[in-house]
Structure 1
Amino acid sequence: MNYEVHRITSLEQLEECEKFCIDHYQWADGEKPEAYGRMGLLEGYGLIISMTAVERNPLRTFTKENDPVYEDSAMEAFLSFSAGGSDQTYLNFEMNANGAMLSQFGTAKAREFISYDKEQKAICEAGIKEDSWSILLKIPMGLIVRFFGGGPLQSGDSFTCNFYKVCQTPGQEHYGSFAPIISEKPNFHLPEFFQRAVII
């Protein structure tokens, strides 16, 4: 089943977009925190993704851009606008509850950190509540076009994606994904298992 990406004209409308659940947990017998999100195409800007994890006191040691936030409690969004297959290119954004974000572009075997300019910079905003934390990821259309070519996304266009919740800390270790992954070892960098998303 495709994930439907609705066109929106304001950030408030993101709450009306289709919900995705990160509920495929494997590779560890630890916690399985509830995690979910929504994605929309903001007119005149680009893709907007909100993600929430129901988790108290998430591990959040890293504070700088491109720190290894996957070693904290993290939520991640991987998106590909290229042809399918295991060697396709994709963007990966990995974020902790401090709002620190690691962002890369490449393939499953080779990725580089993204160098940003002001107009094409992806932005992560984070918030923490007593029993949950959330992020708001803003991906400008210019960044997508820069790496994948073509024009701005339109109704009927499609791409593939997956979303993750991860923590590698002993006693709290967990690996959750939106689209299921077939792998003997923990590995989110498997674009062949990304889910198709369609702009409507």
Structure 2
Amino acid sequence: MMKIKILKNKDELNNLAPLEITHLLWGTKSIPRTYFYIGFIPEDGFYVRMVCEEKDPLRTYTEDFDPVYRDSAMEAFFQFIPEQEVYLNFEVNANGALLAAYGPSRVYRSYFSKEDMAMFQCRTEIEEDRWTASIRIPLSVLEHIYGALSFKAGDTISCNFYKISETKDVEHYAAYAPILSSTPSFHLPEYFASAILE
């Protein structure tokens, strides 16, 4: 089971061991090394940092809600109350363009407001041999979706993390937790991994 550390501040994210995205899907032969860190700060929210060791990533799109999955993108999907069908998707390219939505299925998605998007504090950094994306998921936004929340040690959520590009020249698909579907889709919460707060 994935472990999500309870942190005192977001700088402690730097001390965590990385979790790797290694399950290659739907004919993908290889991806750039991709890994992520996740932590939870009580009464604040969840913090995610994803890293892809990729030189000059494809980054065409520049605006939030653009189809960044056609670029080189890293993605994080969460079902914060596993008993409820609603899950959230966060998809980001190296330009920091963020596609984020929530709902019970791939088709019926609700998009976040501009105010919510600003609260996610999505930031990216491009270095010579890698790029990094950081996202904050505040409890205040989650409570608009799920109602009152009080996460504590021992609680579980479900989630999955992905590396994707749908552009033919560099097309690839990979996940943290395997997806046992013949049809390409990351919108399959039944394959999310269980994660425990500790």
TM over 0.5: yes
Aligned to 1:169: 167
Within 1, Cα distance between the matches of 2:185 and 2:141?
25
Q: Secondary structure at the match of 1:117?
A: helix
Unmatched tracts of structure 2, length 5 or more: none
Deviates more, 1:96-105 or 1:7-16: 7-16
Calculate the TM-score normalised by the size of structure 1.
0.92
Q: Per-residue displacement from partner, 1:69-106 (whole Å, max 9, x unpaired)?
A: 1111000000002335xx82101000000111011010
The offset of 1:50, in angstroms, is: 0.5
**Runs of 4 or more above 6 Å deviation:** none
Calculate the TM-score normalised by the size of structure 2.
0.93
The offset of 1:118, in angstroms, is: 5.8
Within 2, Cα distance between the matches of 1:162 and 1:129?
25
Fraction of identical pairs, as percent: 37
Within 2, Cα distance between the matches of 1:62 and 1:6?
33
Q: Secondary structure at the match of 1:171?
A: helix
Aligned to 1:11: 10
2:102 aligned with 1:105: yes
Within 2, Cα distance between the matches of 1:132 and 1:76?
16
2:71 aligned with 1:83: no
Deviates more, 1:33-42 or 1:6-15: 6-15
Q: Secondary structure at the match of 1:156?
A: coil
Q: Secondary structure at the match of 2:169?
A: coil
The offset of 1:119, in angstroms, is: 9.7
Aligned runs of 1:1-150 on 2, under 5 Å? Answer: 2-84=1-83, 88-108=85-105, 109-117=107-115, 121-150=119-148
Within 2, Cα distance between the matches of 1:20 and 1:31?
17
Within 2, Cα distance between the matches of 1:132 and 1:20?
16
Contact 1:88–1:107 under 8 Å retained in 2:
yes
Unmatched tracts of structure 1, length 5 or more: none
Aligned to 2:151: 153
The offset of 1:31, in angstroms, is: 3.6
Q: Which amino acid letter does the alignment assign opposite residue 150 of structure 1?
A: A
Task: State how many pairs are aligned.
Answer: 197
Question: What's the C-alpha RMSD, in Å, of the aligned pairs?
Answer: 1.8
Contact 1:120–1:140 under 8 Å retained in 2:
no
Contact 1:31–1:172 under 8 Å retained in 2:
no
Q: Which amino acid letter does the alignment assign opposite residue 92 of structure 1?
A: N
